[in-house]
């Protein structure tokens, strides 16, 4: 068994046996654009964003206060094991939706986009996929709500830590499906935009978790499409990067199929415990994350006027001389887009 994976699972067991987006008015601006960093190191706010800044929307360091807190875990699933991995998630014991502060969850599988409008699953057999072809994505109202879950009984149940036998079973089955240990990453969610789902769009929840058919042979149906853009921003450019995004005009909420948007800022203060590892300059310090109903909704937005306006492109009929020059980049290297299909969606009534 891989040593790092074993150590990760032991850390989970120890946490289980021993043992964080504040509600700030939502900034209505933002979309999937491209404002630029130097060498990546992350920045984050502290606690739940108390501040003596003159601007009530900013922290003392001049960064935006978080709207929500986002916890993710990245998994390198072995080739051909995607369906088995999804079945384990579908059939796991969890009461996530019943917990205080829980807002949203989905499991993401990484895909490449084909020109015919279809997606191809990135099956874990190339260098990019091996960095994480599946990601669990959970939104909490506050960081403190996430911390309470991580230290509580619900965490033990979800990670097989209710007994030594359950832990060993989880460890062995995980080793057969995963390549190496999962890699947690935590974020401050900024500039949140979301829609309120209609009653018929809310999935059925049983005791805090989804009840779906999973055979371990076929992957689960896609329930949403997620478009991400990774930004490598240095700490000295962080405030300017965030301001540029906050000042943008967004019409995402007017787009058919739009579900939610947030700019995620890596929280290095959460980079301890639960299997976390030091953050390298190869990892983004910011990531825009837009959730769509499906790939078709994303394509319609990307081909429409809202996308062109957000990305500084002239609408038809505009003269080139009237176009503004794009601002200087704030990143150290070009943004890197990543796309996912989402399944096992769990959403609060307010979205």
As a whole number of angstroms, the distance between CA 351 and CA 348 comes to 5
**Predicted confidence band of residue 202 (pLDDT cuts 50, 70, 90):** confident
Structure token pair of residue 87:
């079945």
pLDDT at residue 148 is higher than 50:
yes
Taking CA atoms, 59 is separated from 28, 62, 261, in Å, by: 19, 5, 21
pLDDT at 184: 92
Cβ 257 vs Cβ 300: under 8 Å: yes
- Average pLDDT (207-216) is 96
| Length, in residues, of the chain | 351
Q: Which of 124, 97, 98, 94 is nearest to 111 (CA)?
A: 124
Q: What is the pLDDT of residues 64-100, one digit of tens each?
A: 999 999 999 999 999 999 999 999 999 998 999 999 9
pLDDT at residue 117 is higher than 80:
yes
pLDDT at 130: 57
Q: Delineate the domains of the chain, giving CATH numbers in brackets.
A: 21-85+105-140+183-347 (3.30.70.100)
Contacts of 311 (CB under 8 A, 6+ apart): 33, 34
- Output 53 or 349, whichever has higher pLDDT: 349
**Predicted confidence band of residue 6 (pLDDT cuts 50, 70, 90):** very low
pLDDT at 316: 44
pLDDT at residue 26 is higher than 50:
no
pLDDT at residue 159 is higher than 60:
yes
pLDDT at 94: 92
Q: Kindly state the DSSP code that residue 207 receives in the 8-state scheme.
A: T
pLDDT at 273: 56
- Output 325 or 315, whichever has higher pLDDT: 325
């Amino acid at each position: 068994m891989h040593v790092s994976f074993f150590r990760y699972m032991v850390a989970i067991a120890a946490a289980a046996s021993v043992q964080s987006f504040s509600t700030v008015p939502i900034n209505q601006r933002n979309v999937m654009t491209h404002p630029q960093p130097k060498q990546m190191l992350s920045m984050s706010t502290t606690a739940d964003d108390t501040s003596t800044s003159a601007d009530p929307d900013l922290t003392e360091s001049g960064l935006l206060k978080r709207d929500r807190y986002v916890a993710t875990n990245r998994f390198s699933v072995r080739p051909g094991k995607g369906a088995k991995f999804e079945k384990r998630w579908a059939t796991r014991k969890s009461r996530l939706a019943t917990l205080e502060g829980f807002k949203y969850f989905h499991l993401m599988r990484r895909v490449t986009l084909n020109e015919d409008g279809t997606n191809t699953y990135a099956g874990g057999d190339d260098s990019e996929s091996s960095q994480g072809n599946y990601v669990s994505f959970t939104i909490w109202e506050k960081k403190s709500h996430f911390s309470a879950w991580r230290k509580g009984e619900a965490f033990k149940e979800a990670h097989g830590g209710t007994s030594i036998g359950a832990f060993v079973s989880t460890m062995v089955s995980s080793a057969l499906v995963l390549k190496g240990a999962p890699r947690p990453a935590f974020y401050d969610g900024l500039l949140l935009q979301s829609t309120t789902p209609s009653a018929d769009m809310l999935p059925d929840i049983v005791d805090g978790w989804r009840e779906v058919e999973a055979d371990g042979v076929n992957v689960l149906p896609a329930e949403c499409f997620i478009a991400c853009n990774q930004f490598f921003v240095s700490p000295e450019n962080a405030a300017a990067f965030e301001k540029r995004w906050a000042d943008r005009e967004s019409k995402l909420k007017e787009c058919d199929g739009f579900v939610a948007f947030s700019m995620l800022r890596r929280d290095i203060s959460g980079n301890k415990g639960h299997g976390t590892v030091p953050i390298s300059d190869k990892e983004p310090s910011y990531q825009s994350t837009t959730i769509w109903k499906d790939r078709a909704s994303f394509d319609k937005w990307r081909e429409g006027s809202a996308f062109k306006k957000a990305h500084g492109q002239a609408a038809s009929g505009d003269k080139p001389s009237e176009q503004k020059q794009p601002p200087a980049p704030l990143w150290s290297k070009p943004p890197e887009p990543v796309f996912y299909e989402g399944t096992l969606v769990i959403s609060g009534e307010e979205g």
